Amino acid sequence: MKEPIVSALQIRNAGERIKPYINRTPVMTSASLNKLFNTNVFFKCENFQKVGAFKARGATNAVRSLSPDSLMHGVATHSSGNHAQALSWAAALAGTKAYIVMPSNSSPVKIEAVKGYGGLITFCEPTLSSREETLQKVIEKTGAIEIHPYNDTRIIEGQATSALELFEEIPFLDLIIVPVGGGGLLSGTALSALHFSSDTKVIAAEPMMADDAFRSFKSGTFIPSVNPETIADGLRTSLGSLTFQVIREHVSDIVTVSEESIVNAMRFIWERMKIIVETSSAVPLAAIMEQRIKVDGKRTGIILSGGNVDLSNLPW
């Protein structure tokens, strides 16, 4: 097998680099869930991370990897989700600017959140080509460094630190289940498992309605999603070239789940565990509840990716 794109040392260094800025998130369990499925599930709570999502890890690692000279003109990305907030927050904390290109139809809640963290927004048409063109213009004008939401080794290293912490705290996991959108968290987790917990199988869970990773993984050819409508809005993006490569090589399986089971799993976590997670975070538990992944008698890790929810607009 060829050398993985991120080494154990790079992940450990990322962990040290971001440590002063991020939260070491707690691991929680649910006695009722464990009883129901005769299992042991350990939830790594990135909903308690800074800015409410694991994205704070990758964004901080990317920003803090830049030299002072590179950082001077700021960082830039196109995103309407948690990466936009995370990059704005990480840039402000490092004393620089974040230029965020957002589609004009982004929700007001998300626009306000980015502004709240100090991000400087440029609006564009809600198409991928407009997003990319607008970002190029912003970069030419400002000299900012682009930080892609997931197709970037600095981002992947940062996201890998969540699983690293989980493996440190909970050894001997039989498997770890992670939601997959662009694949930053999944490829980071797969590389952490490879380096630090090689007996742990890495399985991805994806909404059936945005199953590009599933189809790409099964066919061995990159197949993007076209305007997927899943309720798990953090998982609507398609894989990138780097993340697809890591996933092909180091992920055991990808399973898909229905919209209904995502909502049921989310509500289960809210009601029984008394914590707030966003729809995307509920996808791995949905895979267990739908019995797409058998956990009977096993030790399973799940990364709860985030907790940013519009409380005035819940899916039940």
Q: Please name the helix (run of DSSP H) or strand (run of DSSP E) that holds residue 212, with its range, or none.
A: helix 212-219
Nearest distance from residue 153's CB to its own copies, in Å? Answer: 29
- According to the binding rule CB under 8 A, does residue 48 interact with its own copies? yes
Kindly state the smallest distance separating residue 139's Cβ from its own copies, in Å: 31
148 closest CA partner among 60, 58, 77? 77
Q: Is 35 in the site for its own copies (CB under 8 A)?
A: no
Residue length of the chain: 316
Measured between alpha carbons, how far is residue 23 from residues 60, 99, 147, 161, 165 in Å?
12, 24, 21, 11, 11
Residue 115 binds to its own copies (criterion: CB under 8 A): no
Contact 255, 292 (CB under 8 A): yes
Smaller CB distance to its own copies: residue 51 or 286?
A: 51
CA distance 136 to 111: 20
- Rounded to a whole number of angstroms, the minimum distance from the CB of residue 216 to its own copies is 32
Kindly state the smallest distance separating residue 308's Cβ from its own copies, in Å.
9
Q: What's the Rg (C-alpha) of the chain?
A: 18
In the bound state with its own copies, the residue whose beta carbon lies nearer, of 135 and 277, is 277
Distances 264 to 49, 104, 176, 204, 290 between C-alpha atoms, Å: 23, 31, 21, 19, 10
The nearest distance, CB 207 to its own copies, in angstroms, is 21
**Per-residue interface string for the shown chain with its own copies, residues 52-71, x marking contact by CB under 8 A:** x-------------------
Stretch that binds its own copies, among 44-52, 156-164, 180-188, 290-298 (CB under 8 A): 44-52
Regarding 15 and contact with its own copies (CB under 8 A), the answer is no
Please give the size of the binding site for its own copies, defined by CB under 8 A.
Answer: 18
Amino acid identity at 171:
P
The arrangement of strands across the sheet holding 145-146 comes to 120-124, 98-103, 75-78, 145-146
Q: How near is the Cβ of 200 to its own copies at its closest, in Å?
A: 25
Is residue 23 within 8 A of residue 50, CB to CB? The reply is: yes
Q: Is 316 in the site for its own copies (CB under 8 A)?
A: yes
CB atoms within 10 A of CB 115: 14
Asked if 238 interacts with its own copies (CB under 8 A), we say no
Which residue in the set 26, 143, 171, 224 belongs to the binding site for its own copies (CB under 8 A)?
A: 26
Contacts (CB under 8 A) with its own copies, residues 151-210: none
> How many whole angstroms separate alpha carbon 140 and alpha carbon 227?
29
CB 59 within 8 A of CB 81: no
Task: Give the three-state DSSP class for 74.
Answer: coil
| Residue with Cβ nearer its own copies (184 or 307) | 307
**One-letter identity of residue 57:** R
Within 262-281, the residues that bind its own copies by CB under 8 A are 267, 270-271, 273-277
By beta-carbon proximity to its own copies, the closer residue of 123 and 270 is 270
Minimum distance from residue 46 beta carbon to its own copies (Å): 10
Contacts with its own copies by CB under 8 A lie at 26, 28, 47-48, 52, 267, 270-271, 273-277, 307, 311-312, 314, 316
